[in-house]
Amino acid sequence: MLHAPLWKKILVWAIVAVGFLLAMPNLFYAQVEARNDAADVSTKAGFVTTEQQEALDGWPSFLPSGLVNLGLDLRGGAHLLAEVQVSDVYKARMDGLWPEVRDALRDKRAEVGSIRRQPAPEAGTLRVELSNPAGMAAAVEAVKALASPVTTLSGAGQSDLEVSADGATLVVRLSDAERAATDQRTLQQSLEIIRTRVDQAGTREPTIQREGADRILIQVPGIGSAAELKALIGTTAKLTFNPVVRRGSAEDKNPGVGNVSLPSLDEKDVWYTVVEAPVVSGEDLTNAKGDFDQNGRPAVGFKFDVSGARRFGDYTAANIGSPFAIVLDGKVISAPVIQSHIAGGSGIITGNFTVEEANRLAVLLSAGALPATMNFLEERTIGPELGQDSINAGRVATLIAAGAVSLLMIASYGLFGVFAVVALAINMALIFGVMSLIGATLTLPGIAGLVLTIGMAVDANVLIYERIRDELRAGAKTAARAIELGFERALSAIIDANVTTLITAGVLFVLGSGPVRGFAVTLAIGIITSVFTAVNVTRLIVTMWYNRRQPKTLVV
Amino acid sequence: MAWRFKLAPDNTNFDFFRWQWITFGGSLFLSAMAVVLWLVMGLNFGIDFKGGTTIRTDSAVPVDVGAYRTALEKLPLGDVSITEVFDPNFTDDQHVTMIRIASLDEKLAVTPEEVKAVEEALKAAIDPEMKFPSVETVGPKVSGELVYTSVLSLVVTSLFIMGYMWLRFEWQFGVGAVLALLHDVLITIGIFALFQIKFDLTIVAALLTILGYSINDTVVVFDRLRENLQKYKQMPLRDVMNLSVNETLARTLMTSVTTLLAVGAMLVFGGDVLRGFSLAIFIGVLFGTYSSVYVAKNIVLMIGLDRSEKAKKTGTPDKFAGIDA
């Protein structure tokens, strides 16, 4: 008689049953996916349409509805790895600081003489030349007063500006602590904005995550191409209102310090020289929407927040009669002349927009501008047909592999081989069950991991069966004893062999990315479930068979 | 006794050291050859490691690589390589190629405009209905880092495995196992260099998998060796090793064959995208089996074991017996 405590029997079969239950939705992938999508949409919207209700009814609600996510390489879609140019923000900070520095130094004019901003080669520095270097100490003192403490935990106690003297030049530099804090904020903002923009496109389950210090990984299944995705998120949509210095017919090679020459968006050979520091910018917007001007042409309506409205109001009041430029991503959309004091802080932007362009611009503006430009380091587009082909090929390969391995196991171990095949089937179900439960992503290499698991999973069974044969040959007292010894003595080899593979899967997960990581997950889950099925499930099956049949002799 | 299919007869008694100058020496020679091939011919790196763009084309018109080349010649591009792809899963009017282009300036990524130009040129010259099921671009900055992480992951994995083997066995076993792994990986790389098969990130994943898989066989042999060392305290090390390998031979062959069957199915039916990956694992498993029989234990024998010290780690085989799974 072989013994297996009742609790253990119940536990093992319960795990197997739960595994099957969790894996089952994957057999009805399209149905369950439709239900989940409908559930997501209707919860967000707060009501259910008839179509959604149909989709919801397509899968009983008492059954689990978790699915194995399909990776981009199986579903098709676009993948981008973007590097955020964090130094853009340093530059913007310095441009914003310049008027303050100028004002502070003007107050000390008697000591420092006249001042001139000089070009700074390094982003995040501001260089100001003094005509009277003797007043440098006073100048440094005055500018230092503008600094404020860094507000992060790690940078606490440090100032955000470092002020020093370089001959007759005053150098203001963003401190390292402030740079780190700025980078953190820039990345966070970029992530949020990208998320908003991608969500507005309404695609399913996009992955948007930070990678390393200054990178963002964006994966959007179902989108046509990486170019399309870039059009959606890649434009910074940085809107600024800048004072116009002059208008010309060619690029101004020498616009003067603090000024910049920008081309017009739709007028050929028209360039505007504008003051680089904006009066108000897109960040001051509370709202933007597609609109029409008085002539019925598409336009973008906008509204400033309180401080933006005040600054805009003050500026327009003081500069009636002079033009100001509306600048989007480095191009001048239009440069109207200020007719009157614009109070209330709302207005419209007109240009040669189509209705779609106006709407898209409004969406981009209300999501906020990306704080910095992005460089795309990696772009991948995978068509949905290629993904489907890969799934089909993977399915065929898996079935053939399972069939071939099953045949070999049964030919080699007879009835015990059948037990191993049953355990293998349970193992497959458990892998899908666990992956659905944790919402893991199946990638193309992941399918390879699955097929590999089929080959390797029976390894534990082989070890046990060979050991039972050894024990029988060595003259174990009874058949039951041989089985027990076989299971016990094979265990150390099984554990050692699988721990090493688990180590590999761990390294692959930590250092790998994308599809390779999917492979690591599948491999790791496969190892754990295969040890469970080979050791616990097979043992239980063998025990049940043995106790029922009570064979006198054992043939493995 | 019922009939059973057997890969190895019962109670074998081979002397696995008998031809060691051929078997072990052969392994050394092959490993050295692999390194030479690697250094002389170089690896055919994919865009993951070299940067650049791959475009997969799919057309109903049969592929004439020359025509593709002519179509792209006029474009200002860097290195262009065009390979036709074959797969049993393709339909009759499906003709697929992989085109790899490098940017004119090695330091820059291929731009979307360049990709567009390639697509337009191919559509104009070959087939206006041509489809591009996948387009992938990797910039030079990322590819450099990927090389670094790949090498790092191989080294880290090897160290972890060596550490684990040291923990569970003697250090000699760890060294033997890792050198045997190195042999498997080197030979796989050598074959990739010899046939200039595309070497990308998935191949590195495959190499890591080989590390994890191949160690299995070695561990099983070592596990039996450890057990037998206790059982037969007076038997010469070489004989204990032979006995252990013979005892585990049936299992070693069986596991390798099941894995090869599965990977073989993937190699033939798993689609062309995964072919390189499957091939690497197939080669690795083949040599991994060989090395666990003919390489790993030879190294342990060469280093020698201090068997008087064995007492220290006794009881290990039974450590898990109490768990009562």
Express as a percent the part of chain A with pLDDT over 90: 20
Q: Select the residue of B131, B134, B137 nearest A378 (Cβ to Cβ).
A: B137
pLDDT band at A201 (very low <50, low <70, confident <90, very high): low
Quote ipTM for the complex: 0.87
CATH architecture type of domain B52-138: 2-Layer Sandwich (3.30)
Contact A401 B265 (CB under 8 A): yes
What confidence tier does A533 reach under pLDDT thresholds 50, 70, 90?
very high
- Output the pLDDT for position B317: 47
Using a CB-CB cut-off of 8 Å, the residues of chain B touching A511 are 149, 152-153, 156
How much is the average pLDDT of B230-253? Answer: 90
Q: Helix, strand, or coil here: B42? A: coil
* Residue B84, pLDDT score: 92
Domain with CATH 1.20.1640.10 in chain A: 6-24+384-549
Instruction: Check whether A254 has a pLDDT greater than 50.
Output: yes
CB contact set of A425 (below 8 Å; sequence gap of 6+): none
Whether chain A has a CB inside 8 Å of the CB on B246: the answer is no
Residue A10 tokens, joined: 């119940």
Question: How many Cβ atoms sit within 10 Å of the Cβ of residue B50?
Answer: 21
pLDDT of residue A429: 94
pLDDT, one tens digit per residue, over B180-229 is 999 999 999 999 999 999 998 889 889 988 888 888 888 889 988 988 99
Count of CB atoms within 10 A of residue A310's CB?
15
Q: Please provide the size of chain B in residues.
A: 325
Instruction: Compute the C-alpha angle A175/A181/A186, nearest 5°.
Output: 120
B286/B220 Cα distance (integer angstroms): 16
Task: Pick the residue from chain A with its C-alpha nearest to B316.
Answer: A492
**For tokens 């923990």, what's the residue?**
B167
pLDDT at residue A236 in the model:
62
What does the pLDDT read at residue A461? 93
* Least CB–CB distance from B138: residue in A378, A397, A469: A378
Averaged pLDDT, A324-336: 82
Q: Which residues contact A55 (CB under 8 A, 6 or more apart)?
A: A34, A35, A37, A38
Which helix or strand (DSSP H or E) is residue A81 part of? strand A77-84
Alpha carbons A445 and B272: distance in angstroms, whole number: 12
Q: Number of C-alpha atoms within 13 angstroms, CB side, residue A72?
A: 30
Q: How high is the pLDDT of residue B290?
A: 92
Q: Which of A411, A469, A491 sits opposite B325 (nearest CB)?
A: A491
Q: How much of chain A, in percent, has pLDDT values that exceed 70?
A: 96
Chain A hits for B134, CB-CB cut-off 8 Å, are 380-383, 386
Provide CATH 3.30.1360.200 ranges for chain A: 241-352
Length of chain A: 556
Position A228 scores a pLDDT of: 83
- The mean pLDDT value for B165-193 works out to 92
Angle value at C-alpha B107, between B104 and B113, nearest 5 degrees: 50
Using CB atoms within 10 Å of the CB of residue B147, give its burial: 0 to 12 exposed, 13 to 18 middle, 19+ buried.
Answer: middle
pLDDT, mean of residues B227-243: 91
Q: Considering chain A, what is the average pLDDT of its residues?
A: 85
- What whole-number distance in Å separates Cα of residue B322 and Cα of residue B319? 7
In this model, does residue A111 exceed pLDDT 60? yes
Predicted pLDDT at A202: 66
The residue among B203, B228, B255 with the most chain A CBs within 10 A of its CB, best to mutate, is B255
Q: Give the span between the Cα atoms of B110 and B79, in whole angstroms.
A: 11
Check whether A117 has a pLDDT greater than 90: no
Phi and psi at B55, nearest 5°, equal -120, 130
> What residue type is B305 in one-letter code?
L
pLDDT (tens digit, 9 = 90+) per residue, A487-512? 998 998 888 888 888 888 898 888 87
pLDDT, tens digit, 9 for 90 and up, residues B310-324:
444 444 444 444 444
Q: Of chain B residues 273-312, which have a CB less than 8 A from chain A?
A: 273-274, 277-278, 281
Q: Which of the following CATH numbers is that of domain A6-24+384-549: 1.25.40.10, 3.40.190.10, 1.20.1640.10, 1.20.1440.60?
A: 1.20.1640.10
Most confident of A266-270, B85-89, B265-269: B265-269
For residue range B277-313, what is the model confidence (pLDDT) as tens digits?
999 999 999 999 999 899 998 999 888 887 765 444 4
A133-142, A321-330, A476-485, B102-111: the lowest-pLDDT one? B102-111
Q: How many CB atoms lie within 10 A of CB B135?
A: 26
d(CA A54, CA A71): 27
Confidence of residue A203 (pLDDT cuts 50, 70, 90): low
Residue type, A377: L
Q: Which residue has the tokens 């860094």?
A: A150
Question: Of A291, A370, A356, nearest to A328 (Cα)?
Answer: A370
Mean predicted confidence (pLDDT) in A398-410? 95
Integer Cα distance of A431 and A412 in angstroms:
26
CB A429 within 8 A of CB B186: no
Helix (H) or strand (E) holding A77: strand A77-84
Among candidates A447, A492, A504 on the partner chain, residue whose Cβ is nearest the Cβ of B223: A492
Q: Is the pLDDT of residue A155 over 70?
A: no
DSSP collapsed to 3 states, A132-170: CHHHHHHHHHHHHCCCCECCCCCCCCCECEEEEEECCEE
pLDDT at residue A339 tops 80: no
Q: Least CA distance to A451: which residue of chain B? A: B262
* Nearby residues of A504 by Cβ (< 8 Å), 6 or more positions away: A523, B157, B161, B208, B209, B211, B212
Residue type, A147: A
Domain B20-45+143-308 in CATH: superfamily? Answer: Multidrug efflux transporter AcrB transmembrane domain (1.20.1640.10)
Question: If one looks up domain A241-352 in CATH, what number appears?
Answer: 3.30.1360.200
Spatial contact of A511 and B145, defined as CB atoms under 8 Å apart: no
Kind and range of the H or E run holding A541: helix A538-549
What phi, psi does A465 have (nearest 5°)? -65, -40
What is the structure's pLDDT at B324? 40
Look at A507 and B157 and tell me if their CB atoms are within 8 Å: yes
Among A389, A444, A519, pick the best mutation site for testing chain B contact (most B Cβ within 10 A): A389
- Of the candidate CATH numbers 3.30.1360, 3.90.1570, 3.30.1940, 1.10.3470, the domain formed by A87-177 belongs to 3.30.1360
Which of A56-60, A305-309, A522-526, B102-106 shows the lowest mean pLDDT across its residues?
A: B102-106
Domain residues of chain B, as ranges? 20-45+143-308, 52-138
d(CA A440, CA A205): 13
pLDDT at A399: 94
Q: Which chain B residues touch A404 with a CB distance below 8 Å?
A: 261-262, 264-265
CB-based burial, A468-496: b 16+ in 10 Å, e otherwise:
bbbbbeeebeebbebbbbbbbbbbbbbbb
Contact across the interface for B208 and A447, Cβ inside 8 Å:
no
Q: Are B201 and A455 an interchain contact pair (Cβ–Cβ within 8 Å)?
A: no
pTM of the full structure: 0.81
